[in-house]
C-alpha cells in the first residue's frame, strides 16, 4: 500500500504486533485486555529501541492497515495506539506523551494488506497547539 510522503525530520514507524487490535468496543476480560496492551506496547518499544529521541512537541498520525476491506471506525482503535505511544516512551523515543509534548494521535485508515500492521508518523511540530 502506498503511504503519503513524510515531511523533513519526521519518522515513520511500522509496528507489527498481536493478531488482535485493541478496540474500544470490545468487551474483553480486563486481563485479556492487559495482555494485548502489553504486547502492543512491547512491539512499539522494540521497534523504537535505539532510535534517537524526538524533541517535543510532536504530532502523531496513526494508520491502520488491515487484512479485510470491511468498514470500521479507526477512532475505535485508540487503545491500540495508546499502548504503542506508551511503548515509544518506554523506549526513550518520546520523553512523555502528555498534551504538552504530543499532538494527537490522529487515527486514520491506511489500507488493506495481507498482514495487519500499524504505522505511526511522528512529525516534529514547531509549537504546541491549544
pLDDT in tens, 43-87: 999 999 999 999 999 999 999 999 988 899 999 999 999 999 999
Q: So what's the pLDDT on residue 38?
A: 95
Category of 104 on φ-ψ map: left (φ > 0), alpha (ψ -120 to 50) or beta: left
- Answer yes or no: is 109 within a domain: yes
**What pTM did the predictor assign?**
0.90
How close are the terminal C-alpha atoms of the chain, in Å? Answer: 34
Which carries the bigger pLDDT value, residue 27 or residue 76? 76
The answer to the question of residue 15 being in a domain is no
- 39 in any annotated domain: yes
In the chain, which residue ranges form alpha helices assigned H by DSSP?
30-48, 78-90
Range of the domain at 61: 25-124
Task: Please give the Cα distance from 81 to 61 (Å, whole number).
Answer: 10
Say if 110 falls within a structural domain: yes
CATH of the domain at 54: 3.30.1330
What's the structural domain count of the chain? 1
Amino acid at each position: 500500500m502506498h503511504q503519503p510522503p513524510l515531511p523533513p525530520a519526521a519518522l515513520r514507524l511500522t509496528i507489527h504486533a498481536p493478531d488482535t487490535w485493541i478496540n474500544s468496543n470490545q468487551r474483553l476480560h480486563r486481563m485479556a485486555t492487559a495482555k494485548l496492551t502489553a504486547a502492543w506496547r512491547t512491539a512499539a518499544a522494540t521497534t523504537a529501541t535505539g532510535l534517537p529521541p524526538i524533541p517535543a512537541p510532536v504530532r502523531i498520525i496513526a494508520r491502520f492497515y488491515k487484512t479485510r476491506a470491511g468498514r470500521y471506525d479507526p477512532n475505535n482503535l485508540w487503545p491500540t495506539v495508546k499502548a504503542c505511544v506508551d511503548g515509544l516512551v518506554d523506549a526513550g523515543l518520546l520523553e512523555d506523551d502528555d498534551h504538552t509534548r504530543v499532538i494527537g494521535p490522529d487515527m486514520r485508515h491506511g489500507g488493506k494488506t495481507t498482514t495487519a500492521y500499524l504505522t505511526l508518523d511522528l512529525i516534529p511540530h514547531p509549537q504546541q497547539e491549544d
